[in-house]
Structure 1
Amino acid sequence: MQTSKDSQNQIPKVDTEKADLANSHSQASLADTSLTIDRLIDAQVAFMQEWLRKQAEPLSVEAWQWFGEQPLNKYVSRDHLQHLVNDWLLNQPISDVVRTDIRDILHTVIYHPVNDNVPLSELVDDTQVETLANYVGSHEQQRNVLIHTLVGNETFADLLTQTLYHAINDFMETTLDKAGGVGKLMKLGRSSFEKATNRNLDEKLQAYLHRNIKDLARRAETNAQEHLSNEEVARLLVTGWARIKEQPISHLQTYLRDDPDNSSIHHIEASIQQSYNRLRMSPYLHSLVAASIDTWYGNHQADTMATIAASLHIDEQAMTQFSTALLPIVQDMLDSSWFTAHIREMLQAFYNQPAIKESLITNSE
């Protein structure tokens, strides 16, 4: 007869078998669920990629429409713009790559063969020159500056002094050499003059020419300012332009050097770099930039993004064309391994949530 103790020993054996069976069933369910999740993820990845490929263009248009309705001050503040300009533009020097590009582009533009067949008038319209000439001629200060530059320029007076001196000196030397005894007598007189006055005749001649030519230039400038009418000044400018406007643009190349060791373009680019570096660190420029940003932001902070874009001729049609141009890039991105891996990782994280796993296991039973 079976004792109570024997009965107690048999119960755990039955429970253990049930537990093992349940555990085995659970592991099988988990395995089946894992297979199901993997298949789901594969199918969803493929579906999402295909769906996004088809919807990429309309989605971009809808995204632009939504973005265009947002006001500027919702996402961009005055400080954001200040930091953008200061940190990204003013605080950064021009990189060596950009400097090389500037030099190469300048060389291409200046020495392009098309410049041989295009006149200067293609760059500047006659009406622009006439407008400028009339403006300069009708403003006394600008007119006087122009006359001073043309007539009363001290550099021009110095150059004329040296030219006349060399001409006179060359004439005298040539004449004295051919004058025989008279020439020797004149040279003796010159020597005696220099000893008596303790001054070099050449220096005396230069000083005389310099003083008198400068005086003549000042008188000519005064007369020109008194007697040249507004119309005459304007006509001078227009006439000067008419003389050069039909010359080819390539004529400007005559004022430049294109030697590898002494290139004008290199000097121009270096000057641009030097000026930019000096200005971008200047408190003066920073003050003007800050004031300009304040003015612009004050005018447009309540405008929508679409309104601001429209002022730059960027409308919905332009954005559609832009989206179409970018579509091949988007398609390649959707098919890329890194994008696929990110989608798969996101879906795996979703299905690994305990509640989702438990729901799948329950449904599979």
Structure 2
Amino acid sequence: MLTINSLIDAQVTFMQQWLRKQAEPLSMEAWQWFGAQPLDKYISSDDLQRLLNDWLLDHPLSEVMRADIRDILHSIIYHPANDNVPLSELIDDTQVETLANYVGSHEQQRNILIHTLVGNDTFADLLTQTLYHAINDFMENTLEKAGGVGKLMKLGRSSFEKATNRNLDEKLQTYLHRNIKDLAHRAEANAQEHLSNEEVSRLLVTGWARIKEQPINHLQTYLRDEPNNSSIDHIEASIQQSYNRLRISPYLHSLVAASVDTWYRNHQSDTIAQVAESLHINEAAMMQLSTTLMPIINDAFESEWLTAHLREMLQAFYSQPNIKDSLSFSNQ
């Protein structure tokens, strides 16, 4: 005689077999249904804000993630492929030309750059000190080797300092600083006058042409890869420090909120499928994903936890008084 327990066992087996056969079409039908739903039916702007804040900004990078970042950076930077691939593989000539023309066409920014490089006081001070040390070193070495003439020159220097009540070194530095600053300002004015937009663009393009055929691994010369002095460790630590500072910054939170609100206003009337399509997730992609996940789905159907839940659900169904009383099954 058929018992409730044997019926439940048969139903559980049937449901598992049926689900295995129907898993692929069911997954696609589920996606079609889900994709047709409007975004604002299930997700609000506040939901997205909480997701970003609770899942991303409220937590520092984990040690596992930091280690992964370091390892991935090391693998990319020191990959053997970098030995034979030129820099031009990363950046196209037209990109450099576009950037050069853009920089060259902004006269105000160009003049600020020239002033920063040539016309600022720091540059003049640095050049003054460099020339002073060179002249002073030359004079000291010359006087030491000049014998009597050197002694005469030293005497003349001493007499000058007594007569003017000023140190010759100080006088020399003042003279150099005054004249070099004037020369730097003249050089800046000449550069701003004669360095045309075309010249700026040409300099950038010419500079790129000189380095573009160098292999990518040339960048490694600017890095250290030593156990206790790794550039990658410093880069990762800097990323971590910047992220930790920014993620608790009210400034970043306000920008994130504004970005989410803007995005949501643009897409709240879209269906979920339309939003997914903007990320290149379409029905073909979902079908490929479904095929890839099918072994996991089949294992889930065969798992003990699903079998137990199916049996528990059916037992609860048959235990209902109206069902139990209307059936003439044996309780064994």
Could you state the TM-score of these two structures normalised by the residue count of structure 1?
0.83
Q: 1:323 aligns with which of 290, 298, 304?
A: 290
Letter in 2 for 1:292: S
Is residue 5 of structure 2 the alignment partner of residue 38 of structure 1?
yes
The 1:237/1:96 distance shift into structure 2, 3 A limit, reads same
Task: Give the deviation of 1:160 after TM superposition.
Answer: 3.6
Distance 1:326 1:272, change over 3 A: same
**2:57 equivalent in structure 1:** 90
Aligned-partner Cα distance in 2 for 1:200–1:251: 49
The answer for unaligned runs of 5 or more in structure 1 is 1-31
The aligned residue for residue 117 of structure 1 is 84
Q: Is the 8 A contact 2:114 2:188 kept in 1?
A: yes
Counterpart of 1:100, as a letter, is: A
**What SS is found at the alignment partner of 2:193?**
helix
Q: Distance in 2 between matches of 1:97 and 1:363?
A: 57
RMSD: 2.4
Deviation track 1:260-294 (CA, whole Å, cap 9, x = no partner) reads 22222122112212222222222222112111111
Q: Which has the larger radius of gyration?
A: 1
Match of 1:152 in 2: 119
Q: Distance in 1 between matches of 2:31 and 2:123?
A: 61
Asked if structure 1 preserves the Cα contact closer than 8 Å seen for 2:3 and 2:329, the reply is no
Q: Which position in structure 2 is the counterpart of 1:299?
A: 266
1:68 maps to which of 25, 30, 35: 35
CA–CA distance in 1 between the matches of 2:66 and 2:40?
35
Deviation at 1:36, TM superposition (A): 0.8
**What is the CA distance between 1:363 and its match in structure 2?**
8.7
- Give, in whole Å, the separation in 1 of the partners of 2:84 and 2:14: 59
- Mapped pair 1:290 → 2:261: no
Change in Cα spacing, 1:338 to 1:180, as seen in structure 2 (3 Å) is same
State the identity as a percent.
Answer: 81
2:95 equivalent in structure 1 = 128
For these two proteins, the number of residue pairs brought into alignment is 331
The one of the two structures with greater contact order (alpha-carbon pairs below 8 A, sep at least 6) is 2
Find the counterpart in structure 1 of residue 189 from structure 2.
222
Structure 2: gaps spanning 5 or more residues: none
> What is the CA–CA distance in structure 1 between the aligned matches of 2:136 and 2:178, rounded to whole Å?
17
SS of the equivalent of 2:60 reads coil
Equivalent in 304, 313, 317 of residue 337 of structure 1: 304
Does the CA-based 8 Å contact 2:161-2:167 persist in structure 1? yes
Contact 2:143 2:150 in 1 (8 A): yes
Q: Is the 8 A contact 2:3 2:330 kept in 1?
A: no
Mean CA deviation greater in 199-208 or 301-310? 199-208
Q: Cα–Cα, structure 1 residues 272 and 65, in superposed 2: closer, same or farther, change >3 Å?
A: same
Aligned pair 1:235/2:202, yes or no? yes
Q: 1:190 to 1:88 in 2, by over 3 A?
A: farther
CA deviations on 1:53-79 (whole Å, 9 max, x unpaired) are: 111111110000001100000000111
Query: Residues of 2 paired with 1:96 and 1:198: CA distance?
Result: 66
Looking at structure 2, the residues matched to 154 and 123 of structure 1 have their Cα atoms a distance apart, in angstroms, of: 38
Instruction: Verify the 8 A CA contact 2:4 2:330 in the aligned structure 1.
Output: no
State how far apart, in whole Å, the 2-side matches of 1:196 and 1:357 are: 124
What secondary structure sits across from 1:151 in the alignment?
helix
Q: More displaced, 191-200 or 289-298? A: 191-200
Shift of 1:216: 2.2
* TM-score w.r.t. length of structure 2: 0.91
Asked if the contact 2:224–2:230 (Cα under 8 Å) also holds between the matched residues in 1, the reply is yes
Partner of 1:139: 106
Moved more, 185-194 or 262-271: 185-194
Which aligned pairs between 1:128-207 and structure 2 lie closer than 5 A? 128-152=95-119, 156-190=123-157, 201-202=168-169, 205-207=172-174
* 105-114 vs 304-313, which moves further: 105-114
Return the match for 2:223 from 256, 259, 282: 256
Shift of 1:314: 0.8
Q: What secondary structure is seen at the aligned counterpart in 2 of 1:361?
A: coil
Distance in structure 1 (CA, Å) of the matches to 2:87 and 2:80: 15
Equivalent of 1:267 in 229, 234, 238: 234
When structure 1 is superposed on structure 2, of 281-290 and 307-316 the one drifting more is: 281-290
Amino acid at match of 1:165: Y
Displacement after TM superposition at 1:208 (Å): 4.3
Report deviation, 1:311: 0.8
